[in-house]
Structure 1
Amino acid sequence: MTATVTVDLPGRAYDVMIGGGVLADAGARIAALGGRTHIAILTDETVAGLHLDALQAALSAAGLTSDALALPPGESTKNWTQLSRSVEWLLDQKVERGDIVVALGGGVIGDLGGFAAAILRRGVRFVQIPTTLLAQVDSSVGGKTGINAPHGKNLIGAFHQPSLVLADTDLLASLSRRDFLAGYGEVVKYGLLGDAAFFDWLDDNAAAMVAGDAAARARAVTRSVQMKAEIVQRDETEQGDRALLNLGHTFCHALEAATGYSDRLLHGEGVAIGCALAFELSARLGLCPQEVPSRVRAHLEKIGMKKDIRDIPGDLPPPDALLALMGQDKKVQDGVLRFILAHDIGAAFVTSDVPSEAVLSVLRDSA
């Protein structure tokens, strides 16, 4: 069964198609968008080996031709070099403003491919086909595109909404347990920030999702996308409510920078740790009862997720250096770092009133 969530932005509305077998209909869906019948696909080498043939067969069945560029996998690909390579390749493909660029892959390819589409000819249309849980529930929806800088994560980019998102939940079967759990870090974030009932459902069903329950996976992806769509419709460019989607990310982005955007820490693992730390910080500031962060940690531990800085392998900078890295976060305004904290599960809010010593205390204890 396929679910459709519409991201209803004025003049730029688009559908997110969610369910098993969605990839098989990609050709017809993309052909319906119009433009030339030749499709340029950006992907990575791992995803190309798993899913590119199926996508190109679906395109061919709809009368579309295609070529693909496969980039190296991993977060380190989100850089100027690979962005330039992608844009030059798209120009070699003679992509015009009315054409379609397809981003087939996880969050890295979606972010980089979307940014390449945003700057090519001052903006060409693109379709997201997310192949990971993290990308299906988060990065493929909402129009945030970009690359990383040595100063921090996602500091270079643009808001550029896709024309269509095709989230085939059958593709999640190809993920390793670690990659699936990393994506789950973004799923649980939605319950923690704004839907306590969804968190309760996840607490009961997360183990089945990890074990491969297709119906549970589709339901979790659908609810996550619904929540993100609702927030993006209220605040497309993160002037207010959309910042709530960064729950856990202030800590996470600093940890990713500290680990060099390497496989030592996957993004969703950092989000899970960041959510645990955000709730712990909330309790220490007297914003929520101590049993709330304890419940968050128990849930993460129950399904085998990282929840502390000490869970990251290898050496890390000391807490004061991590705090300095947090100062490079996109959520800094007028030199003041904003945090997403919570009064309870499902009751997150944005604040700048956070003493540095409280943050350092949480970082020290977690490390």
Structure 2
Amino acid sequence: MTATAPATVRVDLPGRAYDIHIGTGILARTGQWLKPLMGRRRVAILTDETVAAAHLDALEAGLAVEGIDSISLALPPGEATKSWEGLSRATEWLIENRVERGDLVIAFGGGVIGDLAGFAAAIALRGIRFVQIPTTLLAQVDSSVGGKTGINTAQGKNLAGAFHQPVMVLADIGLLETLPAREFLSGYGEVVKYGLLGDAAFFEWLEAQGPALRDGDRAARLEAVRRSCEMKAEIVMRDETEQGDRALLNLGHTFCHALEAATGYSDRLRHGEGVAIGCALAFDLSARLGLCPQEDPSRLRAHLSAMGMRSDLSHIPGTLPPAEALLGLMGQDKKVRDGRLRFVLARGIGQAFVTADVPAEAVLQVLRDSNHATSA
């Protein structure tokens, strides 16, 4: 894998600032990046079995060349691992292996491992520093940045967790080349979200470059990850704990989390697929309420279709609950305030805002229409 000069995005939080390094060939040089952060040269790697089989040897070699010892725990892949049981196993493993507060925990995997390992690092010994090495597009552009960690509970997604910022993020674009096409496109749902919420020019760039990015163009992939991380960093620096602007990052997620719950957090719907569908529904709702032009939802769906992605409830395999039940699932979302559900809507592409002033009947009608849309 040929190395290229990385791009760097700074997350400049007071007292907790860190860099996101983005490029190819980064994994082989992990030890070089981490050595300045270390006391004793020992790290604990939390990963999943799929990532371990594909990339753990390369990561361990990249550490060993700088004299850094490592221990690792590979958990089962999939959303089910992001649970109390998975958290207990990871946390107790860190303690059993005498990981110290001054050591580094490495979260090496996709969003599930990043969230779980970050939460385990936050609570073990009341806080151990950790590094994110995201291996999926979704994790590189979204979940590895900003310090949100957590697990799912019986009541819903990400309802237990902590804000625990990493000390560094290493995003190796080359790792994306081993992803199955569906996994890559799932992550692309989060990339599109950034253009929709705050950068119309970026969305326009994605319309032009999306197919090349999908088909393996490294320069396009690096730019997409860089700009996505830059936008997220800007928002996190304004609002680390989601009291205001950070809620914009939830564009599409109120719908998405309900759909994930309705499909049992199963392979029927990946998170990024749900985000893409949720963004389309949010623009449908915005247009129905007269907030954005009627052409915007159509433009978004045209791009998703061109990328080979799902954009409606009718594209999800199997039967979904009725609209009323989906609305009920939305009511369990973390974004409920004073009993009122908040939505991220838009006045146009790149112009998202947060509101609780949304009539339930409008939401229900959007859900019904999407469930009866012609399947792609």
Relative to the length of structure 1, the TM-score reads 0.99
Q: CA deviation at 1:215?
A: 0.5
Q: Which residue of 2 is the match for residue 338 of structure 1? A: 342
Q: Which residue of 1 is the match for residue 368 of structure 2? A: 364
Stretch moving more, 121-130 or 311-320:
311-320
Q: How many angstroms apart in 2 are the aligned matches of 1:36 and 1:248?
A: 43
Q: How many angstroms apart in 2 are the aligned matches of 1:297 and 1:50?
A: 34
Q: Which residue of 2 is the match for residue 39 of structure 1? A: 43
Residue 61 (structure 1) aligned with residue 65 (structure 2): yes
Q: Which residue of 2 is the match for residue 116 of structure 1? A: 120
- Specify which of 175, 179, 189 is matched with residue 175 of structure 1: 179
Q: Which residue of 1 is the match for residue 24 of structure 2? A: 20
Q: How many angstroms apart in 1 are the aligned matches of 2:97 and 2:136?
A: 27
CA contact (8 A) 1:153 1:253 kept: yes
Residue 241 (structure 1) aligned with residue 245 (structure 2): yes
**Letter of the structure 2 residue corresponding to residue 288 of structure 1:** C
Residue 314 (structure 1) aligned with residue 318 (structure 2): yes
Residue 134 (structure 1) aligned with residue 138 (structure 2): yes
Q: CA deviation at 1:36?
A: 2.3
Q: Which residue of 1 is the match for residue 227 of structure 2? A: 223
Q: How many angstroms apart in 2 are the aligned matches of 1:90 and 1:262?
A: 28
Q: Which residue of 1 is the match for residue 356 of structure 2? A: 352
Render the CA deviation track for 1:222-260: whole Å, top value 9, x for unaligned.
000000000000000000000000000000000001111
CA contact (8 A) 1:102 1:128 kept: yes
- Specify which of 9, 13, 23 is matched with residue 9 of structure 1: 13
Q: CA deviation at 1:313?
A: 0.6
Render the CA deviation track for 1:340-366: whole Å, top value 9, x for unaligned.
000000000000000000000001111
Render the CA deviation track for 1:129-181: whole Å, top value 9, x for unaligned.
00000000000000000000111110000000000000000000000110000
Superposition CA RMSD, Å: 0.6
**Letter of the structure 2 residue corresponding to residue 134 of structure 1:** L
CA contact (8 A) 1:7 1:16 kept: yes
- Specify which of 85, 88, 99 is matched with residue 84 of structure 1: 88
- Specify which of 259, 262, 271 is matched with residue 258 of structure 1: 262
Residue 288 (structure 1) aligned with residue 265 (structure 2): no
Q: How many angstroms apart in 2 are the aligned matches of 1:62 and 1:262?
A: 40
Over 6 Å off, 4+ runs: none
Q: CA deviation at 1:35?
A: 2.6
Q: Which residue of 2 is the match for residue 164 of structure 1? A: 168
Relative to the length of structure 2, the TM-score reads 0.97
Residue 304 (structure 1) aligned with residue 322 (structure 2): no
Q: How many angstroms apart in 2 are the aligned matches of 1:356 and 1:95?
A: 49
Q: Which residue of 1 is the match for residue 374 of structure 2? A: none
Render the CA deviation track for 1:182-219: whole Å, top value 9, x for unaligned.
00000000000000000000000000011000000000
Q: How many angstroms apart in 1 are the aligned matches of 2:319 and 2:66?
A: 51
Q: Which residue of 2 is the match for residue 269 of structure 1? A: 273
**Letter of the structure 2 residue corresponding to residue 341 of structure 1:** L
Residue 151 (structure 1) aligned with residue 155 (structure 2): yes
Q: How many angstroms apart in 1 are the aligned matches of 2:109 and 2:177?
A: 14
* Structure 1 residues not aligned, in runs of 5+: none
CA contact (8 A) 1:35 1:100 kept: no
State the number of aligned residues: 367
**Partner SS, residue 32 of structure 1:** helix
CA contact (8 A) 1:42 1:103 kept: yes
